[in-house]
């Protein structure tokens, strides 16, 4: 290329730049001997980028000096670039793609290329490439993916471990339960009423262990699962009514009273009814666990301007302040309550995740000696828009 032609190109480019207006600070490479268009060789391995036409952001000066004029791009990226060029040729006002530039000196650079058409009069003469270094963003995305993988692995481990442990425990439990029942029935000799009463206690204890195991398995599976909501227009009143109804028998057996206050009109919202019912059920189970015989649970649903507010209050002994903060943590165990297990902690954690996936918020307020309230808000706007 002659020096005369070079001068012409610079002139042309300067003119173009002033016509287009400043997009940003351009990086002027010391090497610029090409016409102002992207060029890919016939083999498709080389991208010839006249750096004069490229705005470069995000690279340090040192990195910039290493970016060579000819950057190798990978074949998948080449197709992306060709297709972007095609779109520009067809009149797209802007095309954004992600690709990796590779040079021997500086290695691979993940970049975002924003391509804009350059026109001279009515004629499309090339594309203005704005290259943005997205190494930082990519790094963050990758570390998020890695973190998620680690979480998934540990979740699978937990779930497998719980299942295996449950399997091992269920065998001796079966033996204990069946043998106890046979003893109770007098199969191995006469049993008096006092002995029968003791055996009944043991049978109840084994039943409780069975329940804990089943809950542990279900919750350890659920806790790691990504919550995928299947929303449908659902009556939140109905969800709460059903969650209470499912627990009537249990409440009756514990002598727990309940007071359910719902708006007269249905509160229709696009919710995952099943997931929401599980969340409300878990919260009710927790409140029931707090209560002595004869305790009361109040469930209120209010629709306010900006949100739906659900309150589940119990007349239990309350939770100490430091416990309140940890209540929804994954493996929280209530240290003061006899029979409290980490499973309950998991079920509250699950409830929180379900509420939050619906765009809502959940927190706890407790007054030692007076009781505990769990409050849930679901934003009306989100619900109307379907979240």
Partner 1 sequence: MVDSIMVVEDREPIAEVLRDMLTANGFSVVALATTGKEAMEKFSEERPGIVLMDLLLPDMNGLEVTERLIEMDPSVRVIAITALSRDGLIEDALKAGCIRFIAKPFRMKELVGTIREICGP
Give dist(CA 243, CA 74) in Å, integer: 56
The residue among 150 and 178 lying less far from partner 1, judged by its C-beta, is 178
How far apart are alpha carbons 263 and 277 in whole angstroms?
18
Tokens of 296: 């009361």
Q: Is 343 in the site for partner 1 (CB under 8 A)?
A: no
- Applying CB under 8 A, does 215 fall inside the site for partner 1? no
Q: Considering the complex, what minimum distance in angstroms separates the CB of residue 182 from partner 1?
A: 6
Q: Are 158 and 217 in contact (CB under 8 A)?
A: no
Within 8 A by CB and 6+ apart from 263, the residues are 237, 301, 302, 303
- The answer to the question of residue 170 lying near partner 1 (CB under 8 A) is yes
Q: Which is nearer to partner 1, 189 or 369 (CB)?
A: 189
Decide if 348 contacts 327 (C-beta within 8 A). yes
- The whole-angstrom separation of Cα 375 and Cα 314 is 12
Using CB under 8 A, pick the residue from 64, 66, 134, 217 that binds partner 1. Answer: 217
Q: How far is the CB of 166 from partner 1 (least distance, A)?
A: 6
Q: Which is nearer to partner 1, 160 or 259 (CB)?
A: 160
Closer residue to partner 1 (CB): 221 or 258: 221
Which tokens go with 183?
A: 């003893």
- Choosing from 80, 210, 241, 274, the residue that interacts with partner 1 (CB under 8 A) is 210
In the complex with partner 1, the residue whose CB is nearer, 185 or 201, is 185
What the block records as the tokens of 243 is 């969650």
- 268 near partner 1 (CB under 8 A): no
Nearest-CA neighbor of 251 among 287, 282, 202?
287
Segment near partner 1 (CB under 8 A), from 2-10, 44-52, 87-95, 160-168?
Answer: 160-168
Shortest Å distance, C-beta 84 to partner 1: 44
Distance CA 67, CA 264 (A): 69
Kindly compute the dihedral angle of the four CA atoms of residues 270, 276, 277, 279, in this order, to the nearest 10 degrees.
-170
Among the listed residues 147, 185, 204, 233, the single contact to partner 1 using CB under 8 A? 185
Give me 33's structure tokens: 């001997």
Binders of partner 1: how many residues, by CB under 8 A? 24
The structure tokens 């481990």 sit at 157
Q: Is 174 in the site for partner 1 (CB under 8 A)?
A: yes
225 binds partner 1 (CB under 8 A): no
Those residues with Cβ within 8 angstroms of residue 49's Cβ, 6 or more apart along the chain or in another chain: 38, 69, 70, 71, 129, 131
Beta carbon nearer to partner 1, 100 or 218: 218
Binding of partner 1 by 152 (CB under 8 A): no
Q: Residue 339: which residues within 8 A CB-CB, separation 6 or more? A: 289
Q: Name which of 206 and 346 has its Cβ closer to partner 1.
A: 206
Shortest separation between residue 210's beta carbon and partner 1, angstroms: 5
212 lines the binding site for partner 1 (CB under 8 A):
no
> In whole angstroms, what is the distance from residue 285 CA to residue 212 CA?
13
Give the residue with the Cβ less far from partner 1, 87 or 163: 163
Residues that bind partner 1 (CB under 8 A): 163, 166-168, 170-171, 173-179, 181-182, 185, 187, 203, 206-207, 210, 214, 217, 221
């Amino acid at each position: 290329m002659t020096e005369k032609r070079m001068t012409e190109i610079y002139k042309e480019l300067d003119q173009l730049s002033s016509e287009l207006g400043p997009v940003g600070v351009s990086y002027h490479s010391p090497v610029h001997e090409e016409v102002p268009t992207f060029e890919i060789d016939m083999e498709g391995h080389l991208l010839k980028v006249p750096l004069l036409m490229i705005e470069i952001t995000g690279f340090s000066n040192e990195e910039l000096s290493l970016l060579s004029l000819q950057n190798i791009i990978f074949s998948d990226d080449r197709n992306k670039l060709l297709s972007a060029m095609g779109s520009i040729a067809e009149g797209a006002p802007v095309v954004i793609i992600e690709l990796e530039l590779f040079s021997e000196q500086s290695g691979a650079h993940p970049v975002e290329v924003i391509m804009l058409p350059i026109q001279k009069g009515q004629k499309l003469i090339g594309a203005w490439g704005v290259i943005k270094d997205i190494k930082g963003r990519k790094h963050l995305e990758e570390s998020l993916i890695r973190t998620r993988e680690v979480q998934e692995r540990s979740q699978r481990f937990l779930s497998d471990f719980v299942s295996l442990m449950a399997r091992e425990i269920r065998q001796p439990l079966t033996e204990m339960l069946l043998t106890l029942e046979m003893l109770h029935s007098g199969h191995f000799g006469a049993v008096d009423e006092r002995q029968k009463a003791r055996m009944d206690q043991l049978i109840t204890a084994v039943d409780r262990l069975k329940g804990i195991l089943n809950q542990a398995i279900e919750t350890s599976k659920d806790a790691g699962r990504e919550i995928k909501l299947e929303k449908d227009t659902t009556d939140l009143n109905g969800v709460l009514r059903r969650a209470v109804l499912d627990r009537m028998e249990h409440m009756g057996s514990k002598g727990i009273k309940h007071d359910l206050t719902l708006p007269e009109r249905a509160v229709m919202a696009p919710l995952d009814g099943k997931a929401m019912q599980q969340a409300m059920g878990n919260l009710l189970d927790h409140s029931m666990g707090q209560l002595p015989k004869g305790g009361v649970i109040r469930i209120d649903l209010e629709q306010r301007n900006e949100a739906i507010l659900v309150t589940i209050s119990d007349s239990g002994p309350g939770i100490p302040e430091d416990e309140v903060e940890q209540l929804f943590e994954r493996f929280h165990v209530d240290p003061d309550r006899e029979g409290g297990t980490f499973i309950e902690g998991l079920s509250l954690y699950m409830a929180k995740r379900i509420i939050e996936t619906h765009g809502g918020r959940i927190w706890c307020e407790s007054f030692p000696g007076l009781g505990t309230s769990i409050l849930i808000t679901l934003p009306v706007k989100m619900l109307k828009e379907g979240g």
